[in-house]
Structure 1
């Protein structure tokens, strides 16, 4: 995998986030998918959407992927995140389940 090549579900996820399309972004999650934002866990669709509306897609966030590393079903994405809520270097660790995102963990960098 090249330094910035994303697996197809994550490529679609980043594109949806960057165009402000929360519906398309979160449709890529498994039905039991979850988000862990620096230890704050959101495990229901409703809780993930509330979080995203405040701090992620709804905050006008934009991801510029810098580096991608994959080990099995885990993909680490280093990115420059920009939003009114937070801007800076960020690390996203995704767990994939086929074409679905099982987990997105935001851990910084």
Structure 2
């Protein structure tokens, strides 16, 4: 896989998320992918579908990318996230980091974290 394919998949993920397009979102993942959203694992397409329906599409999540870097086999995206979810105790804007791993043209792992600054 060429490195230029990584940003295309990541852009497609952000676009599908922002449109609330469940089917376009799910087509980006490999069958046995892992999504870890805030330390909760979702293994396999059925579990990822339930997560996406509830926590992405159902919560009307929208992301604005504020930075990204490609490192080896990962694309790491920093984004401001908004939506219809409980924001008590969260900063505004809510900044999250998404770690995408890709294989054979599909997302095989996505880890989403609210990181704290290490500096």
Q: TM-score by structure 2 length?
A: 0.81
Look up the match of 2:50: 50
CA distance in 1, matches of 2:11, 2:78: 14
Pairs aligned (count)? 104
Q: TM-score by structure 1 length?
A: 0.87
SS for the counterpart of 1:53 is helix
Structure 2 counterpart of 1:107, from 101, 113, 116: 113
Matched, 1:10 2:16: no
The gaps in structure 1 that reach 5 residues or longer are 1-5
Look up the match of 1:35: 35
The gaps in structure 2 that reach 5 residues or longer are 1-5, 88-93
Offset of 1:107 from its aligned partner?
1.3
Q: For residues 53 and 72 of structure 1, do their structure 2 counterparts lie closer, same or farther at Cα, with a shift above 3 Å needed? A: same
CA distance in 1, matches of 2:86, 2:14: 17
Runs of 4+ in 1 over 4 A off after TM superposition: none
CA RMSD, Structure 1 to Structure 2 (Å): 1.5
Matched, 1:89 2:95: yes
